[in-house]
Every structure is written in C-alpha cells, then in structure tokens.
Chains A and B, each alone.
Chain A
Amino acid sequence: MNLFIDAFAWIFSPDRLEGSLTLPMAIAQHLAFTFGSVAIAAVIAIPIGWLIGHTGRGREIAVFLSGAARALPALGLVVLLVMLAGVTLKTEAAVTAFVVLAIPSILAGAYSGIEAIDRTVIDAGRAMGMTEWQILFRIEMPLGLSLLIGGLRSATLQVVATVTIAAYVGLGGLGFFLIQGLQTRNFAEVLGAAIIVAALALVLDGLFALLARYAVPRTTGPRVRRTRTEPAPLPVAQTSH
C-alpha cells in the first residue's frame, strides 16, 4: 500500500502546479479533448440516428457499423491517423480518431431511443394530425432521450479512455504522465495519474447518470418496466416498421 501513499504524494505535491504541463492543465486538456470530440460526434450522429429511428431505413447499416466499430482498436486508429496526417496536423488527426470512435455509440443511442418507443404513442400523435416534424420533436425526441443520453455516456467514457492512450503520440492530457512515468519507471507518477484518470471517468459517469435521471421526462410505468426486464433485444427481435 506504500505505492498508493507515494501516488497520492505525487498528486498533491506542489510540483504538480509547476513545469510545462501542470496537473490542472492536463485535466483541462483531457476534458477539452473529450467534450470537443463527443460534441462533434453528436452533431454528426444524432441527426442521422434520428433519421434512421424515425424512418426505419438504414438500420442494418447502422447496426453493422456499430458492431464493426467495437472491433476497431483505439490505439491503432489514433497512431495510424496521426502518422498519415503528419506532425503538424497531429491534434486534428487525433480528434478525428476520437470522433470516429464516439459516433457508433451515439448513433445507436439516437436510433434505438426512437425504436424503443411504443408504436401506439407515435400512431396516436399521427392520428391527432401532428406533422412528421412535430412527431419527431414532441414525441420521439423526448421519449428517446434516455437511450440517447446512454449513448452519449458510453461515447464519453470511450473517448476519456482513448484520450489517455493518445498521450502516446504526444497529445498531452492525463495520459502524458502515464506514458512519461512508464518510460522513466516513475511508478508514483504512473499510479497517481491512473488514479486521476479513473476518478475522472467515474465522475463523468456519475454526471451522466444524474443527467439521465433529471433530463428525461417521466413516462408511465409499464413501458419503463418492460425495457428494464426485457434484455437489450437481439437485433432480430426488434420489429419496428
């Protein structure tokens, strides 16, 4: 347990506020990369996801893409894009990699949120004479919000982990201390940075859990209960449209 004492000593040492990369700066960089990439990915993926969810077209492609993306190694993608783009465009290349990794979860969250809505609710809206836009904005968007937030949550956590790895190509962030410490065998530094990265991920996860609780409109019992006890349905079992 001495290791942990050393690690906390490293974290709270006044040296962390000096030098070319201070600890608060690294945390800020890490968060900026994470939120920036997730925001770009959201701008791309949410409209497409809603389109797929609303029209029911292109589902197979979306399912295939999110499946294939799981197999894509984050480290390899970052290294490859940075090498192809060259040193001058290093940041842009790395952010592109983060965006690529964030898109599938957000896309899946957006379209599955709409798919999970009871069809009768949407049909009722249509029967009342709502336009397709009204159905999208007043029914599908609010009711699909909880799964969309779930998608944003997994995308964010994925990017936090990938930004950590991306320090390998010299991107800064909290991973900088991990990589530097591994190279110089400074175990207090490595462990201290690992603790902060893990804590950061857990805090973000908690924030998304709160967001999901307060931002989502309360729906009637049965629908919520059904989504909870029924397993994440197998693609074959989903029947919308």
Chain B
Amino acid sequence: MNWVLENLDLIWALTVDHLRQSAIAVVAGFVIAVPIGWLAFRYTTLRGTVLTIIGLLYTIPSLAMFILLPAVFGFPALSDINLIVALAIYAVAIMTRSVTDGLGSVDEVTRSAAVAVGFGAWRRFWTVDFPLAGPVILAGLRVTAMSTISLATVGALIGVQNLGYLFTNGAQRRIVAEVFAGVVAVVVIAVLVDLVLMLLGRALMPWSRRASAPRTTRMQAAHA
C-alpha cells in the first residue's frame, strides 16, 4: 500500500499514456471498421470471406503481433506506434462484425421507407442506417474498448510505457503491491471507459432502449 501512495505520480502518468494509446487505437479501429463492415453488409457474397479474414487477425497472439507488424511494415518494434497499430488491428477485427451485424439489425421496412421518401444512399446511411445500427455497434465498441485497454499492457514486454510497466517493473523488483496496483488500475479504467461509453450511448441514442423493447416482444411472439 505504501508503494502505491508513494508512486501515485508514476501511476497517473502511466494511466495517461495508457489511455492515450488505447483511445487512438480504438478510434482508428472504429473509423476503419465502419466502411469495411458496411461493405461486408452491402455485398452479401463478400460477407463471409471478409468477416472470416478479419476475424482471423484477432486469433494472432498479441506478443507475436507486436513482432510481426514491424517486420512486415518496417517501423521500429520498440515504439508506441507499433503498439497502437497492433491494437487498432485488433479493434478492427472486433468492430467490423458489430458494424455488419448492426446494419443487419435495421428493419428492412424502415430502410425501404427512407428510399421511398427519396433519401440518397449517402444520406440514408448517415441519417437512417447508421444511427439505427448504433446500439449494436456501441455494444461492439464497448467490448473493443475494454479488451484494448487490457491488451495494451502486453506492450510493456516490447518496452512501451503504459500501465503494463507496473507488471514488468514490479516483477523485476519483486514488489507485489506494484503489480497489484497495475491490475487494479487497468480494470478500473476499463470499467470507467465502459461506463462513459454506455452513458454516451444513452445520451446520443435515446432510441436504443425503445428499439430493444419491440424486438423483445417480436421474439416472444415468434416463440409463442
């Protein structure tokens, strides 16, 4: 406990680094996943292949990914960029499926209505499809944010500064409190970020709770 109180500055600085790396990766992953997810949704023949290949990226173990990426793309292995690119790839791997699923969850009738009223493809996507797919996409985003924050700690093994440093440094110096503080800090910021995303979703998408209600009754009706 003493160790934690004496090193609050260090923990805070590492938390800021950690959040910065995770945030860039998640935002980049989201921005890349939306068009890919849309393509996979729009062109059904491509869907299986695209989603499978992207899903395979997630199976590559993190430490191997941190080594393979710089070898393929030629940037330095021991750098923030390497970690952020790897985390962004994992984020794309999780998010793409949620985007495709989210767009698939939009009622076909609603989409046809938008076309009938004269919405073009671009305007329909941003004002009808994307907002209605929002709740499902948000669920994927929350999973992505959580796993990115916890995965980022592996970066400590390739020398990146973030909360993972508390694990490697704590192991070398045999300070259990330091490692424990790291685990707690990672879980706490992951849960906080998750909470913020959930509240943001409620504020930005007031229809998400209303949207889930009719679906429930529809499912019950199907089962009855």
When chains A and B are docked, how far (Å) is the Cα of A168 from the Cα of B168?
9
When chains A and B are docked, how far (Å) is the Cα of A4 from the Cα of B68?
10
Shortest CB-to-CB span from A141 to chain B, Å, is 20
When chains A and B are docked, how far (Å) is the Cα of A80 from the Cα of B168?
10
B63 touches A202 (CB 8 A): no
Give the residue of B63, B101, B136 whose beta carbon is less than 8 angstroms from that of A165: B63
Question: A230 and B62 in contact (CB under 8 A), knowing A72-B150, A84-B176?
Answer: no
Give the residue of A72, A76, A83 whose beta carbon is less than 8 angstroms from that of B164: A76
Instruction: For A158, give the chain B residue with the smallest CB separation.
Output: B61
| In the complex, chain A residues whose CB is within 8 Å of the CB of B174 | 83
Shortest CB-to-CB span from A75 to chain B, Å, is 5
| Stretch of B6-14, B115-123, B139-147 lying at the A interface | B139-147
Shortest CB-to-CB span from A30 to chain B, Å, is 10
| In the complex, chain A residues whose CB is within 8 Å of the CB of B58 | 157
> Does more than half of chain A's interface fall in helix, strand or loop, or is it mixed?
helix
Chain A 167-189 against B: per-residue CB contact (8 Å), 1 yes, 0 no?
01100000100110010000100
B157 touches A165 (CB 8 A): yes
Shortest CB-to-CB span from A212 to chain B, Å, is 13
B67 touches A71 (CB 8 A): no
When chains A and B are docked, how far (Å) is the Cα of A160 from the Cα of B150?
16
| In the complex, chain B residues whose CB is within 8 Å of the CB of A175 | 63
Question: A75 and B157 in contact (CB under 8 A), knowing A197-B61, A198-B60, A231-B104?
Answer: yes
- Most A-side CB within 10 Å, residue of B102, B147, B174, B186: B186
A194 touches B98 (CB 8 A): no
When chains A and B are docked, how far (Å) is the Cα of A202 from the Cα of B53?
11
A168 touches B171 (CB 8 A): yes
Chain B 164-198 against A: per-residue CB contact (8 Å), 1 yes, 0 no?
10111011001010011011001100110010000
Chain B positions within 8 Å of A, measured between CB atoms, are 56, 58-65, 67-68, 71, 77, 98, 101-102, 104-105, 135-136, 139, 143, 146-147, 149-151, 153-154, 156-158, 163-164, 166-168, 170-171, 174, 176, 179-180, 182-183, 186-187, 190-191, 194, 209, 212, 215-216, 219-220, 223
15 contacts between A and B (CB under 8 A): A67-B146, A67-B194, A68-B187, A71-B147, A73-B153, A73-B182, A75-B157, A79-B170, A80-B176, A157-B61, A198-B64, A201-B60, A232-B139, A234-B139, A237-B212
> What are the 8 closest A-B residue pairs judged by CB atoms, nearest first?
A231-B101, A71-B190, A161-B61, A194-B67, A194-B64, A76-B183, A197-B64, A73-B153
